[in-house]
């Protein structure tokens, strides 16, 4: 792509999730901590909906949601709608879009002026490495040195933040360093097979800025993560941090911060409509952008909510990198590579209706305009296990796009 010598910090975070022994005897102090956490996260609800996927959805008054436990949001005024939506030419129209419905909708709806929040159960907390790390990404802070990785034809310096016992695999597309105020894209949805309960497989976008312990990220996408949710359903997830995953941020509503405004979509909610190999393809459009100082999330045509700008340091202004793609965790159970799928479980070379894809990649510039990103490049941490292939700009329907994924363990990935 003519970018030899260009240097960028590629955020590659490998996650450790330690197994927890179910039924273990908690000390009195630990039991008190668990009950306090449950009380803090599970706010009093106007209505509760029991979903067929096992979730309980609490319809919580919008002004009493967990977000407002954050000390920076004590006097926060809720922004019910963004002040603008980025302008730009997009062929993904309302006519083209299909309804995206979470499973719990089959059993009820939340009233006006409430937001649906997936109830946290005691067993959810017990699956975490510790009570303190519940809902958070954890990693070895001693790692994070810059190291050159072989990436033929690119010459990029890749910033690896790796683990000793757990390895994260990535197949991603990344922007050049620049000034970004959001991203919009469409991805097809799959339900990847996850071999180990403490592994996960996801497809997401990252908006990032800062470096080292000042790394700020906003993340959103779809994941299968048995260790977090207790099942193998495909679920919407969000994440944020303002200090390189150390003390701030969490998944979904499992800490204070993200302000939810939608009464029909909840972070952590599951979906049943997924793509079929060589069959129907189901898509999931995401838009994240900055409006009036807050970072908004839109799924299809629904405003889900926003990350208040004052949660962040460098991201309070803008993002400097945008990335899109897949990630899995490989725990190397029994000393071998995992069979956990990325995406459809097929390599990128199989293309449409077989492999996973992102299409219509766009970024938001300082004039609040959606533009096709320039100079984007791909990175796969191990192309024998999971790979990625750029598709160029063949048509207005596809725009900038790429295919990615893989089956994990195979003859060339041990």
Q: What is the dihedral of CA 23, 25, 31, 34, to 10 degrees?
A: -40
Q: Which two tokens stand for residue 15?
A: 């996650």
d(CA 84, CA 301): 14
d(CA 58, CA 225): 21
The SS3 call for residue 17 is coil
Find residue 303's DSSP bridge partners: 298
Do 162 and 16 form a contact (C-beta atoms < 8 A)?
A: no
d(CA 33, CA 54): 24
Closest CA relative to residue 187, chosen from 375, 344, 48: 344
Active site residues: 219, 327
Q: Dihedral sign for Cα 3, 220, 230, 353, please.
A: negative
For residue 124, the surrounding DSSP H or E stretch is helix 122-126
Phi, psi torsion values for 301, nearest 5 degrees = -110, 15
Provide the terminal-to-terminal Cα distance of the chain, rounded to the nearest Å.
Answer: 31
Do 319 and 178 form a contact (C-beta atoms < 8 A)?
A: no
DSSP states of 135-185 as a string? TS----TT---EEE---TTT-PEEEEE--SS-EEEEEEEEPPSS-B-EEEE
Closest CA relative to residue 208, chosen from 296, 365, 318, 362: 318
Phi, psi torsion values for 335, nearest 5 degrees = 75, 20
Residues listed for the chain: 414
Do 321 and 177 form a contact (C-beta atoms < 8 A)?
A: yes
DSSP 245: T
Report the DSSP pairing between strands 12-13 and 157-161.
parallel
In terms of Cβ atoms closer than 10 Å to its own Cβ (0-12, 13-18, 19+), residue 334 is exposed
d(CA 179, CA 106): 42
């Amino acid at each position: 792509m003519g970018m030899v010598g260009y240097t960028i910090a590629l955020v590659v975070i490998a996650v450790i999730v330690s197994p927890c022994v179910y039924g273990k005897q908690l000390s009195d102090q630990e039991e008190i901590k668990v009950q306090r956490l449950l009380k803090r996260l599970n706010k009093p609800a106007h209505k509760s909906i029991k979903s067929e996927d096992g979730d309980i959805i609490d319809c919580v008054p919008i002004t009493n949601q967990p977000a407002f436990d954050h000390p920076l949001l004590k006097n926060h005024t809720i922004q019910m709608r963004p002040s603008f939506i980025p302008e730009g030419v997009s062929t993904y129209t309302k006519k083209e879009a299909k309804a995206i419905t979470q499973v719990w909708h089959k059993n009820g709806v939340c009233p006006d002026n409430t937001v649906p929040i997936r109830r946290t159960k005691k067993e959810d907390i017990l699956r975490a490495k510790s009570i303190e790390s519940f809902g958070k990404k954890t990693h070895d802070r001693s790692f994070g040195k810059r190291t050159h990785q072989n990436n033929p034809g690119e010459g990029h310096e890749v910033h690896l933040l790796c683990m000793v016992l757990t390895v994260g695999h990535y197949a991603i597309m990344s922007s050049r360093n620049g000034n970004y105020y959001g991203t919009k894209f469409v991805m097809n949805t799959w339900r990847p097979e996850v071999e180990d309960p403490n592994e996960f497989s996801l497809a997401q976008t990252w908006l990032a800025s800062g470096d080292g312990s000042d790394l700020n990220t906003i993340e959103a996408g779809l994941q299968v993560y048995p260790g977090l949710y207790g099942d193998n359903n495909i679920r919407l997830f969000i994440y944020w941090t303002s200090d390189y995953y150390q003390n701030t941020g969490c998944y979904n509503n499992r800490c204070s911060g993200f302000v939810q405004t939608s009464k029909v979509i909840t972070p952590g909610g599951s979906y049943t409509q997924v793509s079929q190999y060589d069959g129907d393809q189901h898509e999931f459009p995401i838009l994240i952008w900055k409006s009036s100082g807050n970072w908004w999330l839109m799924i299809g045509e629904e405003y889900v909510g926003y990350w208040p700008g004052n949660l962040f340091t460098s991201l309070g202004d803008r993002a400097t990198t945008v990335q899109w793609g897949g990630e899995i965790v490989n725990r190397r159970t029994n000393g071998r590579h995992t069979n956990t799928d990325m995406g459809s479980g097929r390599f990128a070379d199989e293309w449409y209706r077989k492999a996973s894809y992102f299409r219509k990649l766009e970024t938001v510039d300082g004039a609040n305009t959606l533009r096709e990103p320039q100079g984007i490049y791909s990175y796969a941490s191990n192309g024998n296990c999971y790979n990625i292939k750029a598709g160029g700009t063949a048509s207005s329907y596809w725009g900038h796009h790429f295919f990615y994924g893989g089956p994990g363990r195979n003859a060339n990935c041990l």
